[in-house]
Amino acid sequence: MSETALVDRRWIERGAERASTMRFLLWLFPWVCLLLLGVYAAGLCFYYGLNQTNMDNRFAFGLWIFLDLTVIALGAGAFFTGFLVYILKQQDLKPVLNSAVVIGLTCYSGAVAVLMVDVGQPLRAWFTFWYPNTHSMLTEVTFCISCYLLVLVLEYIPVLVKNRQLRRVPSFLVFEHQAHKLVPVLAGVGAFLSFFHQGSLGGLYGVLRGRPFAYRQGFMIWPSTFFLFILSAIAVGPSFLMLVVATAEKITGQKLVDFRVYRKLGFISGVMLAIYVAAKAIDTYVWLNVTSPSMGFGPWDYYSYWPLSSTFLFTATVPLGLLPAILFIVPRTARHRGLLLLAAALTCCGVALNRFVMTVQTLALPTLPFDPFLKYTPSWQEVATFGAVVAYGVIVYSLSYRYLPMFEAMKGE
Amino acid sequence: MSARYGMVIDLDRCTGCGACMIACAAENNVSPPEPRATWRTGITPMVVRALSNGKDGTDRREAFIPITCMHCEHETPCVSVCPQQAVEFDKSTGIVMQMPQRCLGCRYCMTACPYHARYFNWWDPQWPPGMEKSLNPGVSVRMRGVVEKCNLCHSRYHDALQKAAAAGKKEIDVADYVPACVEACPTGAIQFGDLADPKDPATIAAKSPDAFRLLEAIGTEPKIHYKTTQAWIRALADRQSDRPTEAPHV
Amino acid sequence: MFPWIDGFHWTPTHIIFLSLFGAALSAILATAAWGLWRTLGDFRKHLAAATCWRENFGELPAVEKRCRHELAGRLPSRQCDHAFDCRTCPNYDKFAALPANVPASRAGVSYSDNLLYHRGHTWVRGDWDGTFAIGLDEFAKHLVGSPESVKLPEVCDEVESEGIAWTMIKNGHKIRVRSPLAGTVISTGGPDSDFYLKILPHSQPNLRHLLKGPEVAGWLAAEVDRLQMQMSKGKATLADGGTMMPDLMDAEPGSDWDAILESTFIDR
């Protein structure tokens, strides 16, 4: 790689191999376009109102809420990896810790940005803090996510100021030196906060007594929605982290982490997933036979609508839950990089499907006896905003990879 | 002494004329709908839905059911879920009060409501020039991005309170407090009263064997009761929805 | 939210909920504040420069962290774990007692036995009046040649040990030279002068971290080897017999000068 091709080499870690500046810009270009399109769509929503979307009084929650829940589950790798490294002292996961922080930061900040577009009155966002309803799961989610975003920003700053040029500012370097010692505290607080909001996101639907599909009675809200959501988030976090790092390796053509790290992440994911599938099976059994009938709804009623037949229930748990768990845990399959990454992808899809079922499907199913099964297709503005969040994540990760020491293996010569 | 205002709607008398819907819109300053609005995006705090027994020919039966906020008495779903406490259960009247000026527009209450009685302002309200003169000064206008619903014409309750206070009384005269839909119904199908008062005609009607409520099994204790002698309507209301009827429209 | 707001009343749920969040938020803000406070403290106690030096040292590859005693031939191999700051190294006395074993001719670049050398390629000379002159050593001079500009501190400015003494610009590279000592600047010189800075320390300085005698030869030889490797990546060579050519930055502009200057002046 000729020196002149790296116009921004002063900003790049010494000795690190990077694509030429032109190639990097070409890589960024489509993502920036996608981001700008999404920003424009969001602008339309701010200016004209939420009638720009295809949400309505029956689908009060749509694509964006699905995006929020999914992206927050995928970003759970941030808190969980931090917890594993700093609290449980699993030092062999350190190489992917910075990646996890970047993924977490983009996931959470992206989710908050979309939430600001999703609510009818974004300028009133402070109302939740000023008039909190401590009985509402959404209050808990709001507080937790705001605090946790702050934690992620503080965890990202030491990574950011290690940039080759930024570290030349003495105050930045000294702050990084001091902040480094504090990261375990942040990891602990982050784990505490994440535990609660991951669970509360499930609890959001578990409390809806008007939605028998999602409702869990009384104390059962806790194991059925709260803990199940935490479990699935912990299961998918390492998987998504693996996928992102593997994608980065593929795109950059560089080996960034040892395969053992993938196997460890996969094993953790697999164990969590196995526990989740077992717990979910119990929960589903109880809900089918006890909860739902007690509210006057025959459970198989839910699955007689096309395309949501019982295949859906099967799809959520077996190919996207049990199968990846097996692939992760059984040594013969876990040894293969391809199968490991396939399992990670299946896990991510499974959790996304679970979030979809809890949000969109819950709303589609009729509650009043004379209501039809409803359908909803997101508008282009909603899809564009979704795309913008994905683009934002790719751009931030790409920039972080290029200019910051994300992987310890990248040190100098 | 706390009141528990509610309604008993006689489905045998409801003709589906929609006068209650119009009266409600007029009373509550609901603007004419946007051209793009549908039954799923329009604002109809009182809405009349069509029911049928699904049969054809001479066996076919149809009826109309006005749906409004049920002012759930027990563990009101929308009250407990609102993150900003923009919904309040008024203990003195039993009315579930929506405060649009505190509403963030998160729409969580809309997902919580089992009766789909909550409506979001997807657009800013607009009145044709001159029509703003017909606005009711007792009810504030809502802007886009907030949720609204029936509040049992609380402004009329306020007027009744002021009238009572002017006469030196603490309690209102129930005859002074008549919601717009009740007043407008040409067949008198909607009976309004204090369900906490055992002598109130509405309370007596609510206790009749023909009376029922929607989604009783959920346990929200709605204060809107329905009454009918037609068994098929009772069966439809009790039956779980595994066979959807045609998409309802007014 | 507050007791005087109409309709609001505290319930146990409020107290538990807000206490938990208050605790979490306090922990987060306290952490950030503590970090900032410690940073400010480092600056106030004049420890910031030392911290930056240690951080930069930490980023060096292992081969560039060799202990002076290894370079002097006292030990077969040892990696410095003290950021080259022998003043606080507990093992210094133990190793310094061993005999050095490096021929002076190995250096590859000239040096003086009368000067003390800092591993950031500056030399120190104590003068009769208690002041210390600081200059750029021959290795650095051969590298940089004539700098396009030099920014020296003002007289009466304070410099910290391992703090920035002066900066030079050459071929678009900004070179920050670290001071081997702390003190007040009493006189400035430059590339055309005998010295760059003359400083007066506040108290009798500890000079243990500076190299002298045969150690310097060993160290400079290692530096020349390192330079040779770094330059050969750009397909350049030093010159005949391992002796440094002067004005290398001008002679070999194609080399990775960012890397070479970072390693030389231990500044990233």
Looking from the CA of A109 toward its CB, the CA atoms found within 13 Å total: 16
Interface size, chain A vs chain C, as Cβ–Cβ contacts under 8 Å: 88
> Do B105 and A121 make contact, defined as CB atoms within 8 angstroms?
yes
Distance from CA of A2 to the nearest CA of B (A): 53
pLDDT band at A214 (very low <50, low <70, confident <90, very high): confident
Q: Which two tokens stand for residue B90?
A: 């008024």
Task: With H, G, I as helix, E, B as strand and everything else as coil, classify residue C10.
Answer: coil
Examine residue A281 and state whether it is found in any structural domain, yes or no: yes
- List the end-to-end C-alpha distance of chain A, in Å, as a whole number: 16
Instruction: Enumerate residues 6+ apart whose C-beta is below 8 A from B139.
Output: B27, B28, B29, B155
Chain A residues close to B82, C-beta within 8 Å: 133, 136, 138
Determine which of A295-304, A344-353, B194-203, C179-188 has the lowest per-residue pLDDT on average.
A295-304
> Do C34 and A182 make contact, defined as CB atoms within 8 angstroms?
yes
> Do A174 and C54 make contact, defined as CB atoms within 8 angstroms?
no
Residue A413 clears pLDDT 50, i.e. is over it: no
Distance from CA of B234 to the nearest CA of A (A): 11
Q: What is the DSSP string of B132-161?
A: GGG--TTSPPP-TT-EEE--S-HHHHHHHH
pLDDT in tens, B117-139: 999 999 999 999 999 898 999 99
The number of distinct structural domains making up chain A is 1
Find out whether the peptide bond into A331 is cis, omega within 30 degrees of 0. no
pLDDT band at C121 (very low <50, low <70, confident <90, very high): very high
Distance from CA of C114 to the nearest CA of A (A): 33
Distance from CA of C127 to the nearest CA of A (A): 31
> Which of B111, B115, B123 is closest, CB to CB, to A363?
B111
CATH number at residue C239: 2.40.50.100
Tokens 């409020």 belong to residue: C14
Q: What is the DSSP string of B185-210?
A: -TT--EEEEETT-TTSHHHHHHTSTT
Neighbours of chain A (3+ CB pairs under 8 A): B, C
pLDDT at A298: 67
pLDDT in tens, A142-170: 999 999 999 999 999 999 998 989 988 98
Residue in A61, A143, A209 to test binding to B, most B beta-carbons within 10 Å: A209
Q: Which two tokens stand for residue B57?
A: 């020919």
pLDDT band at C233 (very low <50, low <70, confident <90, very high): confident
Chain B residues close to A295, C-beta within 8 Å: 217-218
> Do A150 and C256 make contact, defined as CB atoms within 8 angstroms?
no
Torsion of CA B213, B215, B217, B221, to 10 degrees: -50
Which residue on chain C is closest to A163 by alpha carbon? C268
Angle, nearest 10°, between helix axes A259-286 and A337-356? 30
How many other C-beta atoms lie within 10 A of the C-beta of residue A81?
27
Task: With H, G, I as helix, E, B as strand and everything else as coil, classify residue C174.
Answer: strand
A290 touches C at CB < 8 Å: no
Tokens 């507050």 belong to residue: C2
| B224/B226 Cα distance (integer angstroms) | 7
- β-sheet bridge partners, residue B9: B190, B226
| B45/B65 Cα distance (integer angstroms) | 14
CA geometry: angle B170, B173, B174, nearest 5 deg: 130
pLDDT at C10: 80
B60 touches A at CB < 8 Å: no
Strands (E), A205-325: none
Residue in C6, C31, C267 to test binding to A, most A beta-carbons within 10 Å: C31
Task: Dihedral sign for Cα C247, C250, C251, C257, please.
Answer: positive
A9 touches C at CB < 8 Å: yes
B28 touches A at CB < 8 Å: no
Examine residue A359 and state whether it is found in any structural domain, yes or no: yes
CATH number at residue A150: 1.20.1630.10
C residues 37-76 closer than 8 Å to A (CB): 38-39, 42-43, 48-49, 51-52, 54-55, 59-61
Domains defined along chain B, listed by start:
5-238 (3.30.70.20)
How many other C-beta atoms lie within 10 A of the C-beta of residue A288?
16
Distance from CA of C70 to the nearest CA of A (A): 22
Which residue on chain A is closest to C176 by alpha carbon? A168
Distance from CA of A160 to the nearest CA of C (A): 15
Strands B5-10 vs B224-227: parallel, antiparallel or unpaired: parallel
Which residue on chain C is closest to A131 by alpha carbon? C1
Which domain does A190 fall in, by range?
A: 16-366+378-410
Chain B residues close to A57, C-beta within 8 Å: 40-41, 110, 116, 118-120
| A97/A103 Cα distance (integer angstroms) | 10
Q: What is the DSSP string of A342-397?
A: HHHHHHHHHHHHHHHIIIIIHHHS--STTPPP------HHHHHHHHHHHHHHHHHH
Q: Which two tokens stand for residue A137?
A: 């799961």
Q: Which two tokens stand for residue A11?
A: 């900003």
Examine residue C153 and state whether it is found in any structural domain, yes or no: yes
Residue B230 clears pLDDT 80, i.e. is over it: yes
pLDDT at A7: 83
Instruction: Output helix, strand, coil percentages for chain B, rounded to the nearest 5.
Output: 25, 15, 60
pLDDT in tens, C106-117: 667 888 889 999
Greater confidence, B221 or B235? Answer: B221
Examine residue A65 and state whether it is found in any structural domain, yes or no: yes
Examine residue C18 and state whether it is found in any structural domain, yes or no: no
pLDDT at B242: 42
Which domain does C166 fall in, by range?
A: 48-265
pLDDT at A249: 94
Q: Residues A374, A59: contact at Cβ < 8 Å?
A: yes
> Which of C11, C28, C59 is closest, CB to CB, to A151?
C28
Q: Which two tokens stand for residue A218?
A: 């009384």
> Do A185 and C61 make contact, defined as CB atoms within 8 angstroms?
no
Examine residue C4 and state whether it is found in any structural domain, yes or no: no
| A290/C262 Cα distance (integer angstroms) | 70
Q: Residues B81, B61: contact at Cβ < 8 Å?
A: no
pLDDT in tens, A226-267: 888 899 999 999 999 999 999 999 999 989 999 999 999 999
What would the mean pLDDT of A71-85 be, rounded to a whole number?
91
Looking from the CA of C192 toward its CB, the CA atoms found within 13 Å total: 2
pLDDT in tens, C155-204: 999 999 999 999 999 998 999 999 999 999 999 999 999 999 999 998 88
C residues 180-239 closer than 8 Å to A (CB): none
What is the pTM for the complete model shown?
0.90
A182 touches C at CB < 8 Å: yes
| C247/C194 Cα distance (integer angstroms) | 19
B residues 151-210 closer than 8 Å to A (CB): none
Examine residue A170 and state whether it is found in any structural domain, yes or no: yes
Q: In whole angstroms, how far apart are CA C54 and each of B224, C12, C50?
A: 74, 51, 6
B residues 63-102 closer than 8 Å to A (CB): 65, 67, 75, 77, 80-86, 102
Task: With H, G, I as helix, E, B as strand and everything else as coil, classify residue C125.
Answer: strand
Distance from CA of C193 to the nearest CA of A (A): 28
Nearest Cα neighbor of B7 from B81, B68, B97 is B68
pLDDT at B61: 92
The number of distinct structural domains making up chain C is 1
Q: Which two tokens stand for residue A134?
A: 């401590």
Q: Which two tokens stand for residue C46?
A: 């004049």
